[in-house]
Amino acid sequence: MMGRTIFIDPGRCIGCQACVSACRECDSHRGKSMIHLDYTEPGMSVASLPSVCMHCEDPVAPCAEVCPADAILVTADGVVQQADTTRCIGCSNCVNACPFGIPKIDLQAKLQMKCNLCYDRTAYGLAPMCATVCPTGALFYGTLEELQAERPGVQVADSFVFGDVVVQTGVAMVVPADKVQWPVPGGLPVVEINGRDVR
């Protein structure tokens, strides 16, 4: 199971965008946010969801795999870095390859922008800015054990199904404990929670 990482709990999100503002404050990309706040059911619900890079583990970082310029580095501890500004050619391959819709292209600068799990902070033992400030704990940084100690009975998922492809991620989603067999938005079934088949 994953080590110290981000856990996203959409049930706690109040859409305040503190994460977006906090992300702008990170020194590696000051002034630009690498996190997006999505409204999951526009027109139906105020429900919102912060989207950070899921740091795919298996297959390892589709964005990096398709990068023609070898601009996206995956570190030894599984963090998928933002594109190296000295190599990125702004081709958008990573945008198209990402199953979660995370990387964005700064059209003016022709550069990719993406969450790098606040490597400038986490490498020094600090939590990412977004998870540090999140007023509701919708973004939590730590180990699964730490999360479960704080929220007894919480269930998380770190595998996601896209058609025939299962993607295992470094970042995990909190799944409502009594609703693990619900289909994910779009109708695709959740097949596995913490290695357990829930079909």
Partner 1 sequence: MTATDPAKAASRPVPVSIDPSIAPPGTRNFRDAGGIPADKWHADQNGETLVPTHCCFCGVQCGMYLRVDKGGKVFGVEPRNHDINRMRLCPKGINAYQQVNHPDRLTSPLMRRSRDEEFKECSWDEALDFTVSEIRRIQAEHGNDAFGLLGGASLFSEKTYLVGKFARVALKTKHVDYNGRLCMVSAAGANKLAFGIDRAGNPFSDILLSDCLLIAGSNVGECFPVMTQYLWGARDRGATLIVIDPRETAVARTADIHVALKPGTDSAFFNAVLNVVIDQGLTDEAYLAANTTGWDEVKKTVAEYPPARSAEICGIPASQIVQVARVFAGADRAMAWHARGIEHHSQGVENCLSVINLCVATGNIGKPGAGYGTITGQGNGQGGREHGQKSDLLPGGRSITNPEHRKQICQIWGIEESELPGAGTSMMEMVWQMQRKEIRGLIGICNNPFVSLPNYAVVKDGYDTAEFHAQFDFFLSETAANAHVVFPVTTWAEDEGVMANAEARVVKHNKAQEPPAGVRTDTWVICELARRLGAGQHFDFPGSREVFEELRIASAGTVNDYYGITYDRLDETGGIVWPCPSTEHPGTPRLFEDGRSYHADGKIHLQVVEWHPPMDAYTEEFPLSLTTGRTVAHFLSGNQTRRLGALVEQTPRPWVEVHPSHGFRNGDPVRVVTRRGSEVFPALVTEAIRPDTVFIPYHWPVPTAANALTIDALDPRSKIPEYKVCAARIEAAERVDEVPAPPTAPGHEAYPETQVSRTDPLPPTAPQGRGTAERS
Q: How many CB atoms lie within 10 A of CB 131?
A: 26
| 50 vs 29: CA distance, rounded Å | 18
Interface with partner 1 (CB under 8 A): 11-18, 20-22, 24-25, 27-30, 37, 39, 41-48, 73, 75-77, 79, 81-82, 84-86, 116, 119-127, 129, 132-137, 150-152
Residue 181 beta carbon to partner 1: minimum distance, rounded to whole angstroms? 20
CB of 193 to partner 1, least distance (A): 19
182: left (phi over 0), alpha (psi -120 to 50) or beta: beta
Give the nearer residue to partner 1 in terms of CB position, either 21 or 92: 21
CB nearer partner 1, residue 71 or residue 98: 71
CB of 52 to partner 1, least distance (A): 16
Cβ contacts of 118 within 8 Å, gap of 6 or more: 26, 28, 126, 127, 128, 129, 130
Closest distance of CB 98 from partner 1, Å: 19
Q: Compute the least distance from the CB of residue 48 to partner 1, in Å.
A: 7
* Minimum distance of partner 1 from residue 9's CB (angstroms): 9
In the bound state with partner 1, the residue whose beta carbon lies nearer, of 30 and 199, is: 30
3-state secondary structure 154-173: CEEEEEEEECCEEEEEEEEE
Of 155, 151, 159, the residue nearest 180 (C-alpha): 155
CB distance 36 to 53 below 8 Å: no
Query: Which residue number, 23 or 172, has a Cβ lying nearer to partner 1?
Result: 23
Of residues 16 and 167, the one with the C-beta less far from partner 1: 16
Closer to partner 1 by CB, 161 or 180: give it: 180
